Structures are given as structure tokens and as C-alpha cells.
Structure 1
Amino acid sequence: MKRLRAFVCVILSCCLGTAYPAHKSAPTNHRHAKVKLTHEAGLDRSGKPRKGEASYYGRNFYKKKMADGTHMNPQSNAAASKTLPLGTKARVTNLDNGNSEVVEIRDRGPYVKDRIVDVSPKTADKLGIRKDGTAPVEVKPIEVPQPDGTVKPDTAAR
């Protein structure tokens, strides 16, 4: 009888040992899926222009991975937005001097109050915001990826 109990305990521990890790990973994946869905729900796919403050990526962000998985290239037209979907193309216009550039949203941020976009240093130079570090801008989406895989064009922003 003792041997039978020992045998059953060994079998149960083996079964539980393989079942427990599978059970443990399920809530983690579910949690990430929930966070992603929540974040997706907060995205602005309307194509409406927004006004706010722009800043640019500092040196400490060069070569770091962005939200889309690519590395930040200071010579690119990459930009970060908290509300526009990744892959959105938008025209950013400096409201102080009228300079504008087309950017592609490839990252999340900026995480500073009242800032609506971070641009690459190259774009910041073209917009004329490197000297002061920030500027009031208007961001007009040109192409906005939709959840179904289509792209919503906005010909008025071009």
C-alpha cells in the first residue's frame, strides 16, 4: 500500500509539474492581450488634426527599439504619438514658423504633459525646434491604418 501511494504521488507530481507552468502562463498572455486591446481602444483613427506641443528624441534614445520593433534612427522621419496608431503618416507643422514635415508614427510617447508628438532630430531641424527643444505644432494625419487592415487616407492634410 505504501508503494502504491508513493507511485501515485510521483505520477501526480509529474502531471502537476507539467500542467502548472502551462496554467501559469495563461493569465500573463491574457493580461497582455487585455492591455493591448485597451490601448487599441484609446487610439484615434479619426484623422482629425490636433494641436499641441512637440519635442524631439534626445541622444539617449538613439538606436533604442521603438514600439514598432525598429531601432530609432536620428536621420529618419520617425515620430512618437500616444494616440495615433503605429504606421500613421502625418504632417507636423510648426505653428511658430510654418515649417512642416511628413512623419511616420513608429513609437509611443511623448510621456510629458501637453506634448502630442516626439520627432526625430532630423525632423526637428527641418521644423526649426532643435534650438528651443519644443514648439507648438499641428499634427494632421495623412494616412491612418484601420483595425481591419485598410488605410484611411485624408487628402485634405496633404
Structure 2
Amino acid sequence: MKAISRRFTPWAVLAVTVLLFQGCGGSGSSKGGYGYGDGPPPKDVDVAHIPDAVPKVEPVTKAGNKSPYTVFGKTYEVLPSSLGFRQQGMASWYGNKFHGRNTSNGEPYSMYEMTAAHKTLPIPCYVRVTNVENGRSVIVRVNDRGPFHGDRIIDLSYVAAKKLGYSDRGTAKVIVEAIDPLKYQKNSVEQPHIYSQPSVIPSAQPVASADDYSLPGNTYLQVGAFSTHTAASTLSQKVQSLTEVPVVVRQQSQPTTLYKVLVGPLSDNDTLLNLRNLLQQRENISPFVVYE
């Protein structure tokens, strides 16, 4: 379960405890995420078009790495490094309920992005998660804390869980292995394992060229989300100066009012990947795929 998605206050811990007892009812539901009222996106997502996280060297953030910390009476110590880390156990996922809320290091959580929550790994870091039952594997970026329910060792975003084939079941037995970004970048080609979803692509081998695949007509890159239209408009103008692809501001009313800055619609993966790289290099923005 995605029990806690930010730094704690006594009131926050109390509120989450109430949610646990109200919503979990033992080992959890057979579908959806494991928070009270949590679940998948309102529309189905074609995860074949969502690339894995690409490991890169990042400094450990101050936010989200307090050590030791205590949740529900149990104390955890954050590991000084992820190098060599390997763990086997049950994975769960979290989705719609937490979409747009802050993760433990202050980044907005997106159920469409390849991220994860872990109790003790340093934030941020990258791990490969393999579903033991079907052999599927994904790479995710750890930027959150949890899960604090039962024996679950990692909480994946909804799309990561779907790529691993357990979003309908709720949990799966997995192996979690830390990735050294330096070695990964040295030994990997750009954007590896983008199309390794066996249920969508008959071949088990990754597709060599991204532009072999077109995108659904409602595919966008989200580059930011703000509580005010002014802030969203400022970013949209800056991003628009970098690309000919339309940049729009969309208002989201539920669960809270947000103004999302979206680039698109995008018609092919080649454009999507090039635009992601441009925004990361020029503006240090890490956009993620959404379907609007």
C-alpha cells in the first residue's frame, strides 16, 4: 500500500493509520492499489508506449532521506548507498488516489511515470524489478517511501505494475536489484528496454527503432503542475519557445485544483523521446507521459 507519500507529522500519521484500518481490511483487495479509495486511471493505458526510467547519476536529496525514521511504531534506517542491493518479496502498486500528490522528496507522484516507493533505499536511486512469475522486468526510479503495510517490499507506480503484469491482481512476487547508473550508462544504448512488454510485443527482444511505433492520439508529455494558472502559463511559454509541438495548460479540478502544462498531442515515439531529452538537457525538466 502507498501508506505515506511525504514527510510525516503526528497528524499525518494518525490520518494514514485511520485509512489503513478503514480501507485495507486484511491483505487488501484483489484489484487496484492498496489505499482507501485508490485504483487505476479512469482510462485504460497502453503501457507499451511508456519507456522505463533511464538511470543517471543524481545526488541524494535532503528531503525523503531522514534516517532513522519511525512509522506506525517501527523504525527504519535509510541505506547509505544502493550499490549491491538485492531483495526478494511482494510488490504492490499505487495509483489514482495519490496522482499529483507529493512524494517523499517533494516531486509530484504520477501513476503514468516509472517510479517506486521503498522503505530504506536512498532517494533517488534506480532499481530493476522483475516479476518472478512471468519474468518481465522494468527499471524504475525510487523517489518515495513505503509501503508500510504487511510484508510488501516495494510499491510501484500503476504503469510499472501493469508492465510487469500484476496491476489487475494487486501484488506480485518480485526481485528488486539496484542499478549503478555509471555502469548502466556505459554499457547501455539510449533508452533501453522501451518495448519489452511481452503481452503487447510478440518478440521478446526490444525494438531497435522507436519510430516503428505510432502513439495514441491522446498522448502528451506533462512538464509541470501548479496551483496557479500564472505559474503554469509562465512555464508553458518557456517550453513553447523550445519546440514547435503545441504546449497547453489544462485545469484539473479533482481532487484539488491543478493547472497542468502539457506538450502534445504526440504522434510517434521518436518525437516523444527527442522532446524528453531536449527538456531534460535545456531546462532540467523530467516530463512524463500522460493520456488526456
Q: 1:118 to 1:37 in 2, by over 3 A?
A: closer
1:51-98 CA-to-partner distances (Å, cap 9, x unmatched) read 010011132111110011111111111100001111110000000110
RMSD: 2.3
Residue correspondence of structure 1 range 3-152 to structure 2 within 5 A: 36-39=66-69, 42-44=77-79, 45=81, 46-143=83-180
Contact between 2:113 and 2:159, CA under 8 Å: does it hold in 1? yes
Structure 1 or 2: larger helix share?
1
TM (norm. structure 2) is 0.36
* 5+ long unaligned stretches in structure 1: 1-34, 144-150
Name the % identity: 37
The structural deviation recorded for 1:43 is: 2.0
* 5+ long unaligned stretches in structure 2: 1-64, 70-75, 189-292
Counterpart CA distance in 1 for 2:166 and 2:120 is 22
Counterpart CA distance in 1 for 2:91 and 2:172 is 5
Q: Which residue type is aligned with residue 89 of structure 2?
A: G
1:111-152 CA-to-partner distances (Å, cap 9, x unmatched) read 112111111111111000111100000000003xxxxxxx78
Contact between 1:141 and 1:154, CA under 8 Å: does it hold in 2? no
Larger Rg: 1
Of the structure 1 ranges 45-54 and 102-111, higher mean CA displacement relative to structure 2 is found in 45-54
Q: Which residue type is aligned with residue 114 of structure 1?
A: D
Q: 1:115 to 1:154 in 2, by over 3 A?
A: farther
Counterpart CA distance in 1 for 2:178 and 2:117 is 13
Q: Which residue type is aligned with residue 161 of structure 2?
A: A
Partner of 1:14: none
Contact between 1:81 and 1:118, CA under 8 Å: does it hold in 2? yes
Counterpart CA distance in 2 for 1:48 and 1:66 is 22
Q: Which residue type is aligned with residue 127 of structure 1?
A: L
Contact between 1:47 and 1:154, CA under 8 Å: does it hold in 2? no
Contact between 2:95 and 2:111, CA under 8 Å: does it hold in 1? no
Counterpart CA distance in 1 for 2:183 and 2:84 is 8
Alignment partner of 1:55: what SS? Answer: strand
Q: Which residue type is aligned with residue 111 of structure 2?
A: P
